[in-house]
Amino acid sequence: MKYEWRKQEKDLYLPKAKPVLVTVPEQKFFMISGQGDPNKEEFAEKTAVLYSLAYAVRMMPRQGYTPDGYFEYTVYPLEGVWDLTEEGRKLATLNKDELVYTIMIRQPDFVSPEVAARAFEQVRKKKPHPLLDEVTFASMEDGLAVQMMHIGSYDDEARTFEQMKEFIKENNLEITTLKHREIYISDPRKTEKAKLKTVLRYRVHPLS
């Protein structure tokens, strides 16, 4: 039976449209960093190279190699950790050119550094990408976090963040970093803006 993150990990990927407290375990990712407006070509290219690696792993058994512990699964959605440059933080309104990000695609637990290296090798041979050398394979753990499903345009996320901040305050919690995470459940190329689903997440810790 195919592993479907939408069904098996609903608590992490399909929260309701209200804030909720979760504990996010350590996860493995292909990731790439950058700066600037995500509507520009560079962001699309960085997304493309991540997907080429993610699909290289998923298709390995069809290429004659089955990693230890491999199981059929749906490729995880694109995620991003977002911040602003020092300059961007001083501005009264958001300048997307001042955004700093690391985008990533989660990998199943069976993906070891050796399996990841094989994926890099396959992509280099079959579909070389100029940004491939900027991608890393690493683990990340959000731990205690508040998250919520945002429905609508990415430009309207501020209203959802306000609800989350209110929840954090009411529950005697504190945001641990100015960075936040976004998980893109909808494909923006196929979904109208008003219906886009994006998980928004802040790392938090209890106030003593």
**The total number of structural domains that make up the chain:** 1
Contact 110, 149 (CB under 8 A): no
pLDDT in tens, 17-36: 999 999 999 999 999 999 99
CA neighbor of 150 nearest in space, from 97, 67, 51, 82 = 82
The domain of 34 spans 5-206
Can you give the CATH number for the domain in which 26 is found? 3.20.80.10
Contact 82, 154 (CB under 8 A): no
CA neighbor of 200 nearest in space, from 152, 156, 164 = 164
pLDDT in tens, 128-158: 899 999 999 999 999 999 999 999 999 999 9
